[in-house]
Every structure is written in structure tokens, then in C-alpha cells.
Amino acid sequence: MRLWCWLVLVWIVVAGCGEAPPAGAPRVGAGGSGVDFGCDCPFGEECSDDGRCVSICGDVSACVFGGTAQCCGAGSACQAGNCVTDCGSDVECNGTCCESGQMCFEGACVTQCDTPSQLCGDDNELCCASDEACIGGGCVPLLEECTLGEECEIDELCEPSLGVCIPRDAVDVCEFRPPVGEFEPTIGCRWTPPAPPTNATAEEIEIARMSEVVMTPSVANLTDDNGDGVTDMLDTPDIVFASFDYDADGCCTKRGVVRIVSGGCNDDGTMTTHATLRGLTSDDWIGNSTGIALGNLHPDHMAGERVPEIVATFKNGGTIAWRRTADDGSAWEIMWQNDRLPDRRQTHGGAQPSIADLNADGRPEVIIGNVVLDGLTGGGPGDVGLPVEALAWDGRDLEAMTPGANLGVGNNAFLGPVSTVADLDRDGLQEVIAGNTVYNYDGTERWTYEYTTTNSSCGGSLDCDGYNAVGNFDEDDDGEVVIIRLGELFVLNHDGSPVAGIPLPIRIPGAPANVTEPTYSPAAYVPSVLLYDEDGDLLPPERILCGGALQLAAYDLTGNPIMSEGSQVVVHTAGANESGPPTIADFDGDGFAEIGTASSTAYVVFDFQCTGVPLPAECEREWVRWMVENDDCSSRATGSSVFDFDGDGSAEVVYADETTFRIFDGSNGAILYEDTTHSSNTRLEMPIVVDVDNDGQAEVVIPEPNTDSTRGGIEIWEDADNNWVRTRRIWNQHTYSVTNVTEDGQIPRVPESNWTRSRLNNFRQNVQPGGLFDAPDFVVREIFKLDCDENYFTLAVVVGNDGSLSVPAGILTHVLVTTDDHRVFDLGTVATTDWLLPGQSEQLAVVFEVPEGPQVTGIVLSATVDDDGRGGQRYNECNDDNNTATSNPITCPSVQ
């Protein structure tokens, strides 16, 4: 019976053979019966009358999917077992024919890409390349790898999810722009020397009294503060300076020691000293006016050596370098000590070392005036054991071999040398600019400018040949040399020629209240013609009331002596006005660089747009934008720095003289702030601006030789409202120019020419090359319960940073708990324990101990991030409205 049923079924199937379906109608194929009736047809075909397998759809193949087949009508085609619109060679997508160059993605025609992951744009109309990512609806180039924004270029930011730099304009950047003109500096902390150890030696007690500072500090990351085994920009920067004992030794060129101090302020307003350093023997005291240079002295192929070293000079000549031997900075060893250079031919006090790679071989050199030492060994020219690959030379040796030569060193007044390194002609090899001489990288003379004028006496026994800086003041891309010397300003092309439109020299005037007319010998002489010196240069037109007057013989324009009562006229003029190292910046925000210097009686800003008839209204006089009286007749060589605190494009001047620390408006000299409690015997020192505690905001580091030991020798100033913009975490030497050193203290082989970058063209000005207004955006992402019983609730508060500024550990979150019977408990604050990079979060643990009284079955927790519990915030954010979150009611099942 079962066999009969099977035969009947086969007959029914075979009986359909040869019957055509209605035209255009889908038809299920019946092939594959396994019975030999002349053909064995697959799905979509049937047996013809002559025993052949033919399509069930006539002249076209059936559209087969699995065990079914259908006939596609006119204008249709089979695709993946379905009848779809026939698009010919083009792609069909959800019933639509895509255009040439398109593919089907998620039911829509989109641009043809190698992979769907490359699609981008609001309508997927873009196809990103392999080195691009789709961000913000556009294809964005993926640049260098990064973990911090500071590792990216000026117009880039670090995208944390990708770990690469991208263009800043590709995303909406979280920024806080401070109000312009609101200025409220305040002291964050002061450094005083640590107490001597128990059972201290007489020398240790002596060192503990060395609390005064009269030199320019330097700042870099020298310690591993977060314990991750790496010293980098996630650690707190450190301040390095020389201190001395004014009461014991007096003011000038005295015994000192090097201090290494954490840049972070302690809660009680003190600062932490990591180490105190000096030379090999008990007589090797550091000069109290020395500069400090910080940088990695190792060749760059030594990849494991990246912690910066410390370079200083001794009181009586010679140079020393230390390297770190403990990660926390508590222990250092002498890397090398050169007792020979510099010597008395280069310095009588206040030598300022610098570090650079002069010949671009990856092996840095140490430069002091016109002396070059090998950075790795400290070896000088002719030293036994100097490696053959090392570069070392002494410009005084060249002078001795050159009859009649008088080459520059870099002194002015009685302090220095302060020389500068730059690649003036941008050939990849750097020059040493020392006073009026430019030396090639190998110590040969490139050119020397011959002085014929003066506007001051020279207070030292060494030649006053000038202090330097480098900037750009003309149309070409080569650097110009700026020299301040004997009360005069010189601006010279990279080849030593004059710069078109800028006279040589420009006299540095005295403050109006501190000048008088020259006097003459014989006293009865009354000038009726212009008076010149023996070189044909005009004599100084005013007597500056500081120091003794210069006595200069007078000549007429043709070189004939001016006579009176039978004697040649002698003019009593000028005075002591050598002036300090120049600072270059855009002081007034007009797009042109200006030059600032501190003279004996005035701080003066030179502006080369201050010329013409009529003179621009904002100018004090020709070539001078403004001048403000100061008080520095004792040294006449103090430095200054500049910084754009509010980011408005106009730099403010930061300067301290003998009695007052001031911040001037760069455009007009208005005093924005002054501290009249400041005191100094003044040398070459200057305040510097740097992010000294790595909080993403600028601070001012001020050296002070306070005789009151309670006031300390270093002060850290900050803005009371946290409004000062970001800046770099490094200032590595007196002749700092941003591009001379990386932010982690590495010395570039070929540094970028500062003056060619539109946002730079500065000298002794710190900046943040990118992300000037970057800000954090703190949020509370989540609040949830971890554990509980009748006595406590353990809760998690997840805080995050949705901004564009990385912030260090220590961000406080204020927590309140409200119980189900409406009692409110303040749990205080809990701090983050690690950096919060943009996009990152940290889970904080909070414990609420149930108080005595009514049973608590549920609570509500409220958390506010960046809140010290009193409403105070550490950071200004791009959005302050999202810092607080409140949980839903949280219950404890075991208490129900």
C-alpha cells in the first residue's frame, strides 16, 4: 500500500512536465525527482517533451534560491535569488539602480568604497582614505600618534579614542576664553630652604641659610611624580635655581648652591625641595648669579636616556652638569665638571649657559658666551680624552690667533655672558651669537659688527659687547640679530648688514624724571651746532642720572674739534645705562614684533611702526612705543619676559626691578599689577611664565633675594580666578625661545626657526603652541550602588572629562546624601587619583555610614565634580552647567 502511494506521487509530479506557466508568472521548478523518465532536472528547470531539462521561464534562466525558483519579469533581473530591478552593469539597491561609482549599503546607494568602514558624510557621499577617519561628518587626516594634545602641532589636537593628532577645526573644541582685562594675581606659594638635618655639620647649617635667589630659575619635568616609571608631561614640573645667603656673603658673585624644587604648591603654601647640589669639593660653590640650563645632554641615539640634565657655572669660573640617579629627584650625581671654562676672559659673574645641537649630529653642546663644551663629557677644546666626534671650541682662542680681532663674548654692564644660538640663515647648522660676533657652528668667525657709538659707560672690566636675541623684522625669512649694548639697540640682518628702515643704533632713553641736559667743559661753552664723537656719530643728547657721566670730546660734522676758550670741548653726558637682555614679542597685537628692554631708569618698548610724520598717536617718540620709569640704577642689566595672559593677542610685560614686581599692558605700558613688597639687588634675573604645576594654566615664577627669610626666595603667582591661559611646562634657560627645546626637555637636531612661525616670532616669551583656550568639561556620568546593609551604603560616582584639556589627578567631587526621611548629609569631597584625558572617566568610591536614628531604607546621592565643598572650582570650563548629577532613589534590599 505504501509503495502504491509513492508511485502515485511520482506520477503526479511527472504529469506536469511540459506545461508552461503563465507568461511572467513565478514558477516553482520540479526537477531532481530521481526517477529516470528521460531527464533529471535541477530546481528552476523542467523536463521537455524530448527529455531535455529546460528553464521553467522559457528563454531565460529561473531565479533560484534554495529549493525554490521564480521567473523574473521584463525589467527585472535575478540577484541573490530574488527578482530585482534590472540595472544592467550598475548596482541595484532596494529597488533602485545606483549610479556609476556607487555601491549599496544598508539599503541605500552610497559612494563606492573599498570597505563600508570608509564611508563618511551626512549621506555617505564621501569615501575616506586609509590614512583618514570619519569625524564630524568629514574625512579627517590622521597625523602623528599622541596621548596628549601637547604632542600635536599648533593647529591640531589629540583625538583620544584614536590616539592620533587631527586638525583642530575638524571638531567642536571645548574652550574657555577668559575675560579680557580682568587681572588678579595672587601668591600661590613660596619656597624657603629646608631645615638642616639633625646633628648637621657647620656647612649643612650654612647651606640651610641660603634662602635668597638673584638669578633666573629654569623649569622642566625632572621627576617621576606619579610613579609610572617614566618622567614625562604627566608629572609635575620642577624648578631649578641657585640660592645664597645675603646676610653672610653680601649681594654679588657669591657662594651658592643649586636647588631642585617641585613646582606644585603644598596645601599650606610651602614648596617641596627634592635636592640641593654643589660641586666636587667643598670649594666648588655655584655662582649665585649663574644661569641654569636644563636639557637632555645625551646623544639622541641613546633612547633610554631622556631625563633632562642640569647645567650651571661656578662662582670663580668653570661649568658643571648633574644627572638624576633617583626617580623622585632626591639623588643626583655629577655627570661632569669642567674647571677650566669659562674663565676670566669670558665672565666675571652671571654666566648664563645654554644647550643646543650646533652641528645637527644629535649630540648636544653646552654654550657659555663664546665657549662651546661637549654636552656628554663636558670636554673643552684641547682636553685630553675629548671624543673625536665631540664639538668644542673657545672663541677667545680664535681671537688670540687673529691679529687685531676683538670678538664678542656676550657681556654688558658687569654681568654675563648671555649668548644666543640660532640658525640665522636656515641652512640646518646653528650659529652662536655672542655680543657683536656671530660664530659658525665650528667656532670660526662669520661676522663681527664694529661699534662706533655709545650711550652709557661700561660698568664691568670686561668689554661690553652686548646681549642678544633673534627675531624677524623685515620681509625675508632669515633671522635678524638684536643687540642691547651700552644703552643702544642694534638690529642687524643675518649677514651683519643693516635692516632697511631701522636706524643703527637706536638710543635707549632714560625716564624723563631721571635725565638732564649735558654739561660742558669749559663750562662757559654753549652749543650752537650738533656735536659728534671722533667716529662721526652724534653724541648722546641727554645725561641719564645714574652713575657717572661719560666725558666725550666734541667734533663737528667734518671731524674738526669743537673749541672753546682755547680748549677742545668735552661733553659730560650719557651716564650708566647699559640695559638688560632684549625680549621680543608682539606687545601691542598689531602683527609686528616689538623689542623690550629694562634700562637703568625705564622699561622701554621699541616699535618700528613708530615712525613717520605725523608720528602714530600711540607712540611715545620715534621708534619708542612706550616707556615706564623703573628703579635699577645698581645693576642696569635685569631681564624681562612677556606673556599673553588673557590670550587677546597682545603680550603683557613681566618685570621686577629693585623694589617692585610689575605686569604692564604690552600695548601702552599701563600698570596692570604691581607688588611693592618685592626686593632685589638685581642681577640678570627675570620672572618667567610657565605652567609650573601642570594644571593647564600659567603661573609666574619670581626670584627674590629677600633678606626676610620668611618671605622666601621663590614665589609662585597665579590668577585668583584661574583666568590665565595655558602655556608650556618648560622654560629651560635664560635664552629661551620655545622651539629651542621640546616640552619634555629634548634638544632638537634642527630646531624650527621660531621667527618663521606666525604665532611665535618671539624671544623670552612663553606660549602654548596649540590649544591656547582648551578647557576641561567635567561631568558626572553615572551613580550606582556597589554594596549596602543596614549600616552603610558603598556607592560609585563615575566622573569624566568631555573637554579638550587633560587635567591631572586631584579633581574634587563634592557628595551629598539625602535619606528617605529627608535628612541631608555632607560626605565631603573625593579626589580623582589619575589624569583625566579628554573622553576619559574615573570611578570614585563613596561610603555613606548610616547614622543612628530612624532606619534608612533608601537614599538619593548628589555629586558635583570640580567642587571643593565650598563652591570653589579649580578650573574654568567650557560648560559649567553639567557638573552636577543626582541619582534615582537607591535602596538596600537587605534592609527592606
pLDDT at 33: 39
Q: Kindly state whether residues 785 and 889 are assigned to the same domain.
A: yes
Q: Kindly state whether residues 81 and 122 are assigned to the same domain.
A: no
CB 727 within 8 A of CB 766: yes
* pLDDT band per the 50, 70, 90 thresholds, residue 573: very high
Closest CA to 581 of 867, 815, 352, 841: 352
CB 730 within 8 A of CB 698: no
**Each residue of 686-702: pLDDT tens digit?**
999 999 999 999 999 99
**Each residue of 535-568: pLDDT tens digit?**
999 999 999 999 999 999 999 999 999 999 999 9
Question: Which amino acid appears at position 323 of this protein?
Answer: R
Is 211 inside any structural domain? no
> Terminus-to-terminus CA distance in the chain, angstroms?
72
Q: Kindly state whether residues 38 and 120 are assigned to the same domain.
A: no
Q: Report how far residue 648's alpha carbon sits from residue 643's, in angstroms, rounded to the nearest whole number.
A: 11
340 has pLDDT over 60 = yes
* pLDDT band per the 50, 70, 90 thresholds, residue 182: confident
Q: Which residue has the cell 670660526?
A: 444
Q: Kindly state whether residues 808 and 838 are assigned to the same domain.
A: yes
User: Stretch 734-746: mean pLDDT, rounded?
Assistant: 96
Q: Residue 173, Cα to own-chain centre: how many angstroms?
A: 18
Q: Kindly state whether residues 825 and 872 are assigned to the same domain.
A: yes
As beta bridge partners, residue 483 has: 468, 490
Q: Report how far residue 826's alpha carbon sits from residue 863's, in angstroms, rounded to the nearest whole number.
A: 10
As beta bridge partners, residue 829 has: 814
Contacts of 608 (CB under 8 A, 6+ apart): 473, 501, 502, 592, 594, 623
643 has pLDDT over 90 = yes
DSSP letters spanning 371-437: EEEETTT---TT-TT--TT---EEHHHHHHTSTT-------BTTBB---EEE-TT-SSS-EEEETTE
Q: Which helix (H) or strand (E) holds 483?
A: strand 480-485
306 backbone φψ class: left, alpha, beta (φ>0; ψ -120 to 50): alpha
* pLDDT band per the 50, 70, 90 thresholds, residue 279: very high
DSSP letters spanning 280-309: SSTT-PEETT---EEE--S-TT-TT--SPE
Number of helical (H) and strand (E) elements in the chain, helices listed first: 4, 64
Q: Kindly state whether residues 883 and 802 are assigned to the same domain.
A: yes
Closest CA to 803 of 771, 832, 847: 771
Q: Kindly state whether residues 33 and 134 are assigned to the same domain.
A: no
Indicate the residue among 26, 55, 85 that finishes a domain: 85
User: Stretch 832-861: mean pLDDT, rounded?
Assistant: 91
User: Stretch 862-877: mean pLDDT, rounded?
Assistant: 95
Least confident of 295-304, 502-511, 831-840: 831-840
Global pTM reads 0.83
Identity of the highest mean pLDDT range in 12-21, 33-42, 115-124, 824-833: 824-833
Q: Report how far residue 465's alpha carbon sits from residue 578's, in angstroms, rounded to the nearest whole number.
A: 10
Instruction: State phi, psi for 712 to the nearest 5 degrees.
Output: 80, 170
Indicate the residue among 85, 113, 137 that finishes a domain: 85
CATH of the domain at 796: 2.60.40.10
Q: Which of 508 and 124 is assigned the larger pLDDT? A: 508
Q: Report how far residue 419's alpha carbon sits from residue 765's, in angstroms, rounded to the nearest whole number.
A: 17
**Each residue of 309-324: pLDDT tens digit?**
999 999 989 999 999 9
15 has pLDDT over 50 = no
Helix or strand or coil: residue 488? strand
pLDDT at 6: 36
Is 47 inside any structural domain? yes
Is 520 inside any structural domain? no
* pLDDT band per the 50, 70, 90 thresholds, residue 149: low
CB 605 within 8 A of CB 655: no
Contacts of 282 (CB under 8 A, 6+ apart): 203
Q: Report how far residue 489's alpha carbon sits from residue 455's, in angstroms, rounded to the nearest whole number.
A: 10
- Give the Cβ contact number of residue 614 at 10 Å: 6
pLDDT at 187: 96
Least confident of 80-94, 656-670, 721-735, 854-868: 80-94
DSSP letters spanning 121-132: STTS-EE--TTE
Contacts of 11 (CB under 8 A, 6+ apart): none
pLDDT at 148: 62
CB 682 within 8 A of CB 657: yes
136 has pLDDT over 50 = yes
Q: Which helix (H) or strand (E) holds 470?
A: strand 467-471
Least confident of 2-11, 129-138, 369-378, 556-565: 2-11
pLDDT at 43: 80
Is 854 inside any structural domain? yes
Structural domain containing residue 7: 2-85
Q: Which helix (H) or strand (E) holds 8?
A: helix 2-15
* pLDDT band per the 50, 70, 90 thresholds, residue 11: very low
Helices (H), 241-285: 246-249
**Each residue of 709-738: pLDDT tens digit?**
667 799 999 999 999 999 999 999 999 999
Q: Which of 60 and 640 is assigned the larger pLDDT? A: 640
pLDDT at 1: 42
27 has pLDDT over 50 = no
Is 73 inside any structural domain? yes
23 has pLDDT over 50 = no
* pLDDT band per the 50, 70, 90 thresholds, residue 446: very high
Pairing of strands 92-93, 778-788: unpaired
**Mean pLDDT of all residues belonging to the chain:** 90
Q: Kindly state whether residues 115 and 49 are assigned to the same domain.
A: no
**Rounded percentage of the chain residues whose pLDDT exceeds 70:** 94
565 backbone φψ class: left, alpha, beta (φ>0; ψ -120 to 50): left
CB 621 within 8 A of CB 557: no
User: Stretch 224-242: mean pLDDT, rounded?
Assistant: 95
pLDDT at 38: 62
Is 693 inside any structural domain? no
21 has pLDDT over 80 = no
* pLDDT band per the 50, 70, 90 thresholds, residue 896: low
* pLDDT band per the 50, 70, 90 thresholds, residue 707: low
Is 62 inside any structural domain? yes
Contacts of 552 (CB under 8 A, 6+ apart): 454, 533, 539, 540, 570, 571, 573, 574
Is 458 inside any structural domain? no
Q: Report how far residue 786's alpha carbon sits from residue 69's, in angstroms, rounded to the nearest whole number.
A: 59
As beta bridge partners, residue 846 has: 795
pLDDT at 506: 98
pLDDT at 160: 65
Helix or strand or coil: residue 743? coil
Question: Which amino acid appears at position 675 of this protein?
Answer: D
Indicate the residue among 52, 85, 118 that finishes a domain: 85
**Rounded percentage of the chain residues whose pLDDT exceeds 90:** 72
Q: Kindly state whether residues 107 and 27 are assigned to the same domain.
A: no
Q: Count CA within 13 A, CB hemisphere, residue 485.
A: 32
Q: Kindly state whether residues 824 and 865 are assigned to the same domain.
A: yes
Q: Kindly state whether residues 107 and 40 are assigned to the same domain.
A: no
Q: How many domains does the chain have?
A: 3
Q: Kindly state whether residues 123 and 75 are assigned to the same domain.
A: no
Q: Residue 32, Cα to own-chain centre: how many angstroms?
A: 78
As beta bridge partners, residue 566 has: none
- What is Dmax (Cα atoms) for the chain? 159
